[in-house]
Amino acid sequence: MGNAKFWEILRQPGKGRVLFVDAAADYGAVMGDKMAVIAVENGWRGMVINGYIRDTAIIKTLPLAVWALGSCPMKGLMQAEAEEGLSLAFHGLNIEPGMFIYADEDGILLTPDSISEFNADFNLAFKNME
C-alpha cells in the first residue's frame, strides 16, 4: 500500500468504520503511533491489517481497535500503490465493502448484514490485540 494514500485515507472521516489494509503480510510495519492517532482524530473505530505494526505500547492506549499479524520495529517498504473500495481476501476472510464486523481478542466475524441480537449480547467491546 502506498504510504501517501494510506495517510490520505486515514485523514478522511472514519464515521466509526473499520479500515481493512492488505499489506500482503510484508514483514515491516505498515502503521505506527502517528497514523493511529490520525485515525482516532478522524473517527476511525478500528483497523484489520494483513501486515505488521509498530509503536504498539502507544497504540494500545488509544481508543482504536487494531488487529494485525504482529509487531515489527522496522518501517515497511510500502511500495505498492493503494486502492480504495476493493474486495479483499486474506487469512480465510472474504471482505466486501460495507460488511459488518464483530470482533474481540479472540477473533473476527464478518457478515453482510447487521446481527442486532449479537450487538445487544456482545455489546461490541472492541479491544486492542496484544
For the segment 14-32, the average pLDDT, to the nearest whole number, is: 87
Q: Are 29 and 76 in contact (CB under 8 A)?
A: yes
Q: What pLDDT digit, counting tens, does each position of 78-120 carry? A: 556 666 777 888 777 788 888 888 887 787 888 888 776 555 4
Per the model's pLDDT, the better-predicted residue between 19 and 127 turns out to be 19
Task: Flag whether the pTM goes above 0.85.
Answer: no
For residue 3, is pLDDT > 80?
no
Total length of the chain: 130
Task: Show the CA angle centred on residue 107, arms to residues 117 and 33, nearest 5°.
Answer: 110
Grid coordinates belonging to 122:
456482545
Q: What pLDDT digit, counting tens, does each position of 30-81 carry? A: 999 999 999 999 999 999 888 899 999 999 999 999 999 999 998 876 556 6
pLDDT at position 33 is 96
pLDDT at position 79 is 58
